[in-house]
Amino acid sequence: MNKKFQFSRLDTIDAADAEGDNSLVDCFVDNGYLSRLYDIQDHRFILLGRTGSGKSALLLKMLQSNRRTLFLNPENLSLTYISNSTILKFLLDVGVNLDLFFKLLWRHVLAVELLKHHFSLNSQKETDNWFQILRNKLSSDKRNQGGLKYLEKWGSSFWKETDYRVKEITENFVTNIKAKVLSLLPSGKTSLDSSLKLEKGQKAEIQYRVQHIVAEIHMYELTKIMRLINTIFDDPQKPYYIVIDRLDEDWIEDKFRYKLNHPQHWRE
């Protein structure tokens, strides 16, 4: 038997996207993907599909159904700040592999978001109190002293918006490396312009030197922060899920977007 529906002039049928669809909770039908997304033993973590296939709806359902789900929008992370960096553009143009920097950037952002959400760090006072508790708890844990120092280094920005932290860690990286890169330029060159013409041997020298500097700065810090995160979030029965939507859209210059989106940057 066919059912008849009546609509008023102000009614809407669906929305342009999942974010604007207020009927998502009532109309959502799980086709089996939701349980796979929640399965921490399933190492697949990228959701692919054509436009309109329900990717965003699945991610929003996760956010609405689980209080330990964090939602990050790349457009709100100020990652365009990275694409406007003269020195980062220069390094990519001469062929320097910045994967370690992008990996640390993601790990830093995700780790801080987890800690901020889990411990409700919404003010400087709350952050300071939490640090004191953590120091006392880890006072005899030598393995995590490095991770604790790393968090203390960036602790003043924990309660601020994520875009602030992206700018902060990028500025710190640029400051640490800029003088070293300038010292490798040919005599008389004092600016890092992507249009700077360098010979093949000069590019190779910059690639070698800078790659070593990048690895030296970041590998140790990556190890420290992830070890501490694994210590704090050690209950497999209470996993957290971090959801990032719209990674395929034009939220940053292409050459940076492809680098930032590389799956290896999010893996343990």
pLDDT tens, residue order, the chain (268 aa): 555 656 666 666 555 554 555 555 566 777 778 888 888 888 777 777 777 777 888 888 888 888 888 888 777 666 777 777 888 888 888 888 888 888 888 888 888 888 888 888 888 888 888 888 988 888 888 888 888 888 877 777 777 777 787 888 888 888 878 877 777 777 766 667 655 677 888 888 888 888 887 777 766 777 788 888 888 888 888 888 888 877 777 666 676 766 666 655 555 5
Q: What is the pLDDT of residue 138?
A: 85
Q: What is the pLDDT of residue 135?
A: 87
Q: How far apart are CA 80 and CA 74, in angstroms?
A: 9
- Which residue's structure tokens are 């140790």? 220
Kindly give, in sequence order, each residue whose CB lies less than 8 Å from that of residue 188, ignoring residues fewer than 6 positions away: none
Phi-psi region of 172 (alpha: psi -120 to 50; beta: other; left: phi over 0): alpha
Q: What are phi and psi of 243, to 5 degrees?
A: -110, 125
Distance in Å from the first CA to the final CA of the chain:
54
Residue spans of beta strands (DSSP E) within 37-169: 69-72
Closest CA to 226 of 74, 128, 114: 114
Q: Would you say 261 and 86 are in contact if contact means Cβ atoms under 8 Å apart?
A: no
Q: What is the pLDDT of residue 34?
A: 84
Q: Would you say 256 and 82 are in contact if contact means Cβ atoms under 8 Å apart?
A: yes
Q: What is the pLDDT of residue 193?
A: 64
Dihedral angle, C-alpha 65, 69, 73, 74, nearest 10 °: -150
